[in-house]
Every structure is written in C-alpha cells, then in structure tokens.
Amino acid sequence: MTTVVFELASDGSYRGFTCMGHAGYARKGSPDILCSAISALTIHTANGIQFAAGDEIEVSQNEETGFFRCQIRSGPKEGTRILMDSLLQSMKGLSEQYGEKYLQVTIRKETKDA
C-alpha cells in the first residue's frame, strides 16, 4: 500500500508531501499502473513547484522502498498552491478509484504550538 501525506502549516499553506510504500495493485511480475500514476504525479508536481512556480524544494527518495518526499523550503507561491491542490485531488481520485487498500491519502496540519 502507498500512503501519501500532505503537510500543511498552521495557516493552511502547504509545506510538502511524502509518499511511502508501493501500492501492490499489480499481479506479481506485471507493471503496477497505480504506482506508475503516483510516481508520475509526484515527480511532475515537484518539478512544477521548482521550475514553474519557482519555489525552493528539497527532495529525498528511495525507489526501492517507494519513498518520495518533497519539502517546500520557500514561499509557497500561488502556483505551488495550485499544483499541490491538483496533486491532492488527483491522489484522492486514485484512492477512490483503486481503493484505500492500495492508496491512502492523509492531510497533516501542524498546530500553532508546533
């Protein structure tokens, strides 16, 4: 199963997102279309935040474990908010289509005390 966590600041602005695990949707030996979709969306969003929106990000990943983290280090600018909103809606749609058994989406909002 893949878990995607969207991280928000106490003011509701995006701080980044983390993907963990492989979906496990495909039969053994077959390509996993759900993992492919998740990977394409996350890489596209990270590239868009950095190159189109112009925000500074820090990315860490491990393809073997299915880990991908994108932390927004500046802003975020309006373009980043739009990209992140789009990613969130896309992930929710995939979770509804394929089931929470394969993809879970969580929003974690920090408190002002944190």
**In this predicted model, what pLDDT tens digit does every residue of 25-81 receive, in sequence order?**
998 889 999 999 999 999 999 999 999 999 999 999 999 999 999 999 987 899 999
Give the chain's domains with CATH numbers.
2-109 (3.30.70.1490)
Asked if the model's pLDDT at residue 110 lies above 90, the reply is: no
Distances (CA, A) of 9 to 36, 73, 114: 29, 12, 10
Q: What is the pTM of this model?
A: 0.92
Per-residue model confidence (pLDDT) at position 29: 87
Distance between CA 76 and CA 66 in Å, rounded? 26
Q: What is the 3-state secondary structure (H, E, C) of the chain?
A: CEEEEEEECCCCCEEEEEEECCCCCCCCCCCCHHHHHHHHHHHHHHHHHHHHHCCCEEEEEECCCCEEEEEECCCCCHHHHHHHHHHHHHHHHHHHHHCCCCEEEEEEECCCCC
Encoded tokens for 52: 């189109």
**How sure is the predictor about 113, in pLDDT bands with cuts at 50, 70 and 90?**
low
- Rounded to 10°, the helix 33-47/78-98 angle is 170
Share of the chain above pLDDT 90, in %: 90
Per-residue model confidence (pLDDT) at position 13: 94
